[in-house]
Structure 1
């Protein structure tokens, strides 16, 4: 059977970035509280539980706000096999399954980091291609070795079995996202924006090497879900600092960094100015609810965890400083508002991201010859893809070379 050639598109080329210190933020999808972060209070209940004939793990339901609108999230756990010692088993015959433990697992911090690494690899040249009858599904090929190597580079030393389990959980745990609408005298859910997993299609194929060790030679392909594919198609993504994301120790800190990156917008060529940058304020309750972090049994422990996550942004130079405004009843702290001032380095990242987005839009218009957003992916031949990369590279270099504007002078 003849091999079906991979199909590239203008949007896939524009998703690429040569700067490996960067990743891409897909704002709504990356801000959905779709991970379960284990604390000492929930370590044995919410993250993983045995699956039995008469009992199953209930779905997790959360609501969150994004861009001033309320959304609803339902998460259903993935089912995986593990040995009695707790080691993941990718597949098993009926006879083997009798000696295994079947568990239901929600994506947690490990899966959050592995997915971020997959997204970083997806930005390498010619990594993505289009599949499906309509050529509207985005597929990525890579190996477990690449994932492990990238994880080691950011100080995560999970073995191949753990990485494969994380990918399996992402491919099996279902995410249902819907938004509210007004009608019948009140607010109700509208149709689902997404009803899928992180990777609705995934396969791992072994290619044993001469030594018989196939772990490092497993070629994996996966398909991004419809919400991510649509964001790539519509150029609804922006560069963020991959280095910052990987250095931040708290999953809540990573969520906060993404939230700040999505919220801040600067004119291309602008730079930070003391009179032109406004602080942003988040309450502890907003962070708890919208990040999906779990609450401790004692309120003060929960607030301490939120403050620690915010302080990490200052330690990493993302925020210049943070003022904490306490809501107290006597000596008891009931709530905290965090007034955050972004740093010069953070605003420089935002400015560069704005440049990339504007150049991407300009290059796409040049390719299509139209001011209108294309209805689908725009196919490119290898020669056209090379031309698009060259054109974008020159435009980005030109944008970075322009004199910087002060924020208070920018239009």
Structure 2
């Protein structure tokens, strides 16, 4: 597969990372509970067959981010598949004749899609992978093959067929996400939407009719990231997190918790550059349930057990030093749990590494634009400037300690 000669924009160069153990966190987008985990073990997408003449209702959730409440709506993707006619009832309730027929069904993105989206994001950080498209050259897009997705999944301990990868990408391209923040003084559900799109509003998989099943994985795939992700890349509003930890954590709730910790820990409260300390984070089980989008069991104790397991997984992975549980009891019955989570030195080292990359990106932007503010447009760069930027950033990362992040534009 041919690679794009130049990313064409400085921010796309700065989104690159040579360290394949890292990924990028786009905090609001990645902390929104955008997936529907239909079973206890996650896995396949949440498939639902709509009643005849009807449709599957959207899922509506609320979540908080940096003290603000956001509304989230997830609309299912509509797909088609071939089934045996004897599995489909006619209007009069009798089975149809033998053979196959095509039916429509609706499906929500689940854990499988979450993992595939993580892998797409990791591939997007490879050198010269991203480019700009659209009439105004403001749409971030990338090209890859399904085999690349499959190989990367295998490398991080996940196995999916080419057919499943194709289906997951299609679900991500068709399931619509609406994220809104209600305006002050208006009714719930009203206010400006920050995002009303799919994960990939443009997806094109070059198909070959002579190939079926798991064949055809070398076909070139083109996708476009949604406006919230594109604007985050443009504004340098992303930070490195450990891709290895994300892929090793088995529970989607554990992955959400790791992202939440990564988003919360920065240098904004440090007494001096480089001093993060070991300040604990406190979250209640109900906060985790609400904000992660996890399943709720019919028995409260089963739900709390699942939350505790997700928190303990971070201790087992060395992300947390400890997670103390404070129980809210009514008699002998546990009604709630508050978790006091103490970050490990290993986790804080990851946060420092992320801050160093953010500061190196700021310095690289300043060297090109002469401005300390966050950019509001994609900044064009020549091939020579691209090479110089990569070298300058690499040198800074090996020589300079972290400093405070870039000031907001405005």
Q: Same fold (TM over 0.5)?
A: yes
Tell me what 2:376 maps to. Answer: 375
Tell me what 1:172 maps to. Answer: 174
Q: What whole-Å deviation, never above 9, does each CA across 1:97-145 have from its counterpart, x for those lacking one?
A: 9712311000000000000000000000000000011100000100000
Tell me what 2:82 maps to. Answer: 83
Q: Counterparts of 2:232 and 2:397 in 1: how far apart (Å)? A: 21
Task: Check whether the contact 1:285–1:335 (CA below 8 A) recurs between aligned residues.
Answer: yes
Task: Check whether the contact 1:114–1:167 (CA below 8 A) recurs between aligned residues.
Answer: yes
Q: What whole-Å deviation, never above 9, does each CA across 1:16-71 have from its counterpart, x for those lacking one?
A: 00000000000000000010012259999x92211354121100000110000000
Q: Counterparts of 1:67 and 1:36 in 2: how far apart (Å)? A: 23
2:58 maps to 1:59 = yes
Aligned CA-pair RMSD? 2.6
The equivalences for 1:174-213 within 5 A come to: 174-183=176-185, 189-206=190-207
The equivalences for 1:196-345 within 5 A come to: 196-206=197-207, 214-266=215-267, 270=274, 276-345=277-346
Task: Check whether the contact 2:132–2:138 (CA below 8 A) recurs between aligned residues.
Answer: yes
Q: Counterparts of 1:337 and 1:246 in 2: how far apart (Å)? A: 26
User: Could you say if the C-alpha distance between residues 362 and 113 of structure 1 is closer, same or farther in structure 2, counting changes exceeding 3 Å?
Assistant: same
2:368 maps to 1:351 = no
Task: Check whether the contact 2:74–2:178 (CA below 8 A) recurs between aligned residues.
Answer: yes
Consecutive unaligned residues of structure 2, counting only runs of 5 or more, are 85-98, 404-410
Give the length in aligned residue pairs: 382
Task: Check whether the contact 2:236–2:374 (CA below 8 A) recurs between aligned residues.
Answer: no
User: Could you say if the C-alpha distance between residues 332 and 101 of structure 1 is closer, same or farther in structure 2, counting changes exceeding 3 Å?
Assistant: same
Q: Counterparts of 1:178 and 1:223 in 2: how far apart (Å)? A: 21
Deviation at 1:397, TM superposition (A): 1.1
Q: Counterparts of 1:200 and 1:41 in 2: how far apart (Å)? A: 28
TM-score computed with the length of structure 2 as normaliser: 0.88
Task: Check whether the contact 2:5–2:128 (CA below 8 A) recurs between aligned residues.
Answer: no
Tell me what 1:20 maps to. Answer: 20
Q: Counterparts of 2:400 and 2:258 in 1: how far apart (Å)? A: 25
Task: Check whether the contact 2:43–2:111 (CA below 8 A) recurs between aligned residues.
Answer: no
Tell me what 1:93 maps to. Answer: none
Q: Counterparts of 1:157 and 1:39 in 2: how far apart (Å)? A: 19
Report the secondary structure of 1:70's partner residue: strand
Deviation at 1:379, TM superposition (A): 1.1
User: Could you say if the C-alpha distance between residues 362 and 208 of structure 1 is closer, same or farther in structure 2, counting changes exceeding 3 Å?
Assistant: farther
Q: Counterparts of 2:317 and 2:288 in 1: how far apart (Å)? A: 19
Tell me what 1:141 maps to. Answer: 143
Please list every run of at least 4 consecutive aligned residues from structure 1 whose deviation after the TM superposition is greater than 6 angstroms.
41-44, 207-210
Q: Counterparts of 1:339 and 1:214 in 2: how far apart (Å)? A: 49
Q: Counterparts of 2:329 and 2:181 in 1: how far apart (Å)? A: 34
